[in-house]
Amino acid sequence: MPCAYKMVSKVCGEDQAKKLSVISLSNNTIRRRVDDMVSDILSQVTTEIKESSYGKFSLQFDESCDVASCAVLLGFVRYVHQDKIKEEFLLCEDLLTTTKGEDVFNIINSFFTKNGLDWNSVQQVSVDGAPSMMGAHRGLRGLIQAINPEISVDHCIIHRYSLGLKSLPGNLKLVFEDVLKIVNFIKS
């Protein structure tokens, strides 16, 4: 806060800087403000998805571990809004029980229900190649396609590259890693 105070006093004057001192910085206040921002962003994204120019959107899901080694489900969405393709972070939920397809599906389905999203608007889902994700009956793929058989579910291309990279000779692996760094740099 002292840094912000100095900055505001230099740019806007001492009177404006004094207004910063009345801002509460307690843990609860900061937590509420962060939660409000998250809710607002989620509301904006889900509204844009529902108003998508083509009425369809794509999803990508992956399980990962956070810094505390707890399993989390990450979800991303791609849709068209105002004639532009948008990619947004959609969800990050703890996998409290297991990483079975049914548990993952229940989290996603609950998110859809809570946010008014429709499975009939989903065109494609990308997942890693794990059996819990790609299983035709009890995997995420099977459970999604039981709701809407028109949804295309595939193995994420980045995971395919990663698997392919393991079997490349050393010199090709170095070239591929350089290309990947360049692509990631351009995307960012």
SS (H, E, C) the chain: CHHHHHHHHHHCCHHHHHHHCCCCCCHHHHHHHHHHHHHHHHHHHHHHHHCCCCCCEEEEEEEEECCCCCEEEEEEEEEEECCEEEEEEEEEEECCCCCCHHHHHHHHHHHHHHHCCCHHHEEEEEECCCHHHHCCCCCHHHHHHHHCCCCEEEECHHHHHHHHHHCCCHHHHHHHHHHHHHHHHHHC
One-letter amino acid of 127: V
CATH number, domain of 69, equals 3.30.420.40
Domain check: are 20 and 58 in the same one? no
Domain check: are 163 and 148 in the same one? no
Domain check: are 70 and 144 in the same one? yes
Answer with the residue of higher pLDDT: 118 or 159.
118
Answer with the residue of higher pLDDT: 131 or 102.
102
Domain check: are 61 and 145 in the same one? yes
Domain check: are 110 and 124 in the same one? yes
pLDDT at 157 over 60: no
Domain check: are 174 and 113 in the same one? no
* Mean residue pLDDT across the chain: 83
Domain check: are 64 and 74 in the same one? yes
pLDDT at 151 over 80: yes
Domain check: are 6 and 33 in the same one? yes
Mean pLDDT to the nearest integer, 20-32: 82
Q: What are the pLDDT digits (tens) for 105-115?
A: 999 999 999 99
The pLDDT value given to residue 130: 64
Task: Kindly give the pairing relationship between strand 84-94 and strand 57-65.
Answer: unpaired
pLDDT at 187 over 70: no
Domain check: are 95 and 163 in the same one? no
The pLDDT value given to residue 88: 93
Q: How many domains does the chain have?
A: 3
Domain check: are 144 and 65 in the same one? yes
| d(C-alpha 111, C-alpha 116), whole Å | 8
pLDDT at 48 over 80: yes
The pLDDT value given to residue 56: 92
Domain check: are 99 and 17 in the same one? no
Domain check: are 148 and 180 in the same one? no
The pLDDT value given to residue 186: 78
Answer with the residue of higher pLDDT: 118 or 134.
118
The pLDDT value given to residue 39: 93
pLDDT at 128 over 70: yes
Of the candidates 152, 111, 147, 107, the residue with the CA atom closest to the CA atom of residue 134: 152
Name the percent of the chain lying above pLDDT 70: 86
Domain encompassing residue 17: 1-50
Q: What are the pLDDT digits (tens) for 77-119?
A: 999 999 899 999 999 888 887 777 788 899 999 999 999 999 9
The model carries a pTM of 0.70
